[in-house]
Amino acid sequence: MELKKLIHALDVLEVVGTDDVKIAGIQSDSRKVEDGFLFVAVRGTAVDGHAYIDGAIAKGAVAVVCEEIPSLSEENGNPSGRNVIFIRVKDSADALGKLVSTWYDNPSDKLTLVGVTGTNGKTTIATLLYEMFRKMGHKVGLLSTVCNYIDGEAIPTDHTTPDPITLHSLMTRMVEAGCEYAFMEVSSHSIDQKRISGLSFDGGIFTNLTRDHLDYHKTVENYLKAKKKFFDNLPTGAFALTNADDKSGLVMLQNTAAKKLTYSLRTLADFKGKILESHFEGTEMIINGREVVVHFVGRFNAYNLLAVYGAAVSLGKDPEETLIVLSTLHSVSGRFETIQSPKGYTAIVDYAHTPDALTNVLNGIDEVLNGRGRIITVVGAGGNRDKGKRPLMAKEAAKLSDQVILTSDNPRFEEPDDIINDMVAGLSKADMERTLCITDRMQAIKTAAMLAKKGDVILVAGKGHEDYQEVKGVKHHFDDREVIRNIFNS
């Protein structure tokens, strides 16, 4: 593609050299640059792409998009001795998404694309929308924490929201596969880092906002602003659907040009729900005046289902058909996943890794148990992440459980015992009397199983769908569900 056509969508501040050149590919990673490529120098959180301009040119880059043009000597000062075109822009991260979108012929314009953002519930909502629309006869794409899908084809994922090049590549494959819709999780990191630049959204859903990712955003206010930016940028003609019961819910709608819609369990809303009865097999609900039985447990899941229903109706689906399909859907892998013990107690595996998510799951269990059994919670916290939430996680677990076992999660490059000590700091003397600290996660789960009696519930929280444990930069196979089934079958 001609460089002139590629940069047409950018707000170019300066061009050094002629833009009458053909580009063979686009990269923001200098190690992946090939002959004839355009290199985009992005300022990241850990590294600055501007430091790798020389390396990209040496590998064959013929053009560079950057925020600062490097000092030029003869032949543009590059080590390869060839002429290179420099395009200066205000924000190269934003430019990357727009460039890649143009390169792939704007795939998101050919899909009905809906983004889901918030602290908790993103994976469940995006995945259930994907499953619902497939059941309605559509070809659909999904971009999520658990796995990406191009209709029925699974594509492994490493990030909640991929980098712009991967993102637009996947969407191009969705278009080529005949997908009409795409649903994606939109993380706060991806909004802040402009990984979603160049995408054309037809709708946005906000779930809730509680403490998370403060190792990155530093303050809750910054975290909120990142989420809000997504809605601020939605176009006229799109819809913005928000949780009216969350204190940040209506904030998301303040400056959006999209159609403003709400869902709620507590107040008047466009999509209103009420829980009638809960049990471990599911929940009886009323949604917009119609009764429905769903295979989900807990108020937090009731909110997720309201968001799914609201989004489907907002996309033109018949309300009655939507409720019928909603009643056939099942929980996402590793989200309130129940495993029954032959001894009469229940184990629940859930991805809850924030204080609020843990509270939601424990409240959901308590609603069903209604005092008829004990709750034993096995929980840890990830290493090299927001340390401030560790004591809060332990405090919530102790407040809502009869027995707590603190253990290792993904320690990454931290010592597991140090993480557990940070969690213990949130516990009172009385809490500690009901708390065990067992660093080895397998032993912690085995201990919980030994303590459980008929009618009890073991919650194993934090890892959910993950089938590994990351220690010192190495991922070792570890699956909570597999461990529990092995214990139950032994």
Q: Which residues are annotated as a binding site?
A: 30, 118-124, 160-161, 187, 193, 195, 385, 409-412, 462, 466
Nearest-CA neighbor of 34 among 2, 64, 52, 61? Answer: 61
Find out whether 364 and 300 touch, Cβ atoms under 8 Å. yes
Distance CA 357, CA 124 (A): 13
Query: Which residues contribute to the annotated binding site for ATP?
Result: 118-124
DSSP element (H, E) containing 181: strand 181-185
Q: How many residues does the chain have?
A: 490
Identity at 260, one-letter amino acid code: K
Distance CA 111, CA 125 (A): 18
Question: What backbone phi and psi angles, to 5 degrees, belong to 287?
Answer: -125, 120
Q: Which DSSP category does 345 fall into?
A: -
User: Distance between the two ends of the chain, CA-based, in angstroms?
Assistant: 61
Angle of the 480-489 helix axis to the 441-451 helix axis, nearest 10: 40
Question: What backbone phi and psi angles, to 5 degrees, belong to 47?
Answer: -130, 155
Residue 188 CB partners (closer than 8 Å, separation 6+): 117, 213, 216, 217, 223, 226, 227
Nearest-CA neighbor of 203 among 245, 134, 272, 259? Answer: 259
Integer CA distances (angstroms), 57 to 1, 31, 46, 65, 80, in order: 19, 11, 22, 12, 7
Beta strands across the sheet bearing 259-264: 153-155, 148-150, 140-143, 181-185, 112-117, 203-206, 239-243, 259-264, 271-279, 282-287, 290-294
Q: Which two tokens stand for residue 217?
A: 């955003």
What number of CA atoms fall less than 13 Å from residue 348's CA on the CB side?
29
Q: Which two tokens stand for residue 238?
A: 């799109």
Pairing of strands 346-350, 375-379: unpaired
Query: Which residues contribute to the annotated binding site for meso-2,6-diaminopimelate?
Result: 385, 409-412, 462, 466
Integer CA distances (angstroms), 76 to 86, 139, 151, 341, in order: 9, 49, 47, 70
Integer CA distances (angstroms), 260 to 109, 117, 253, 319, in order: 21, 16, 6, 18
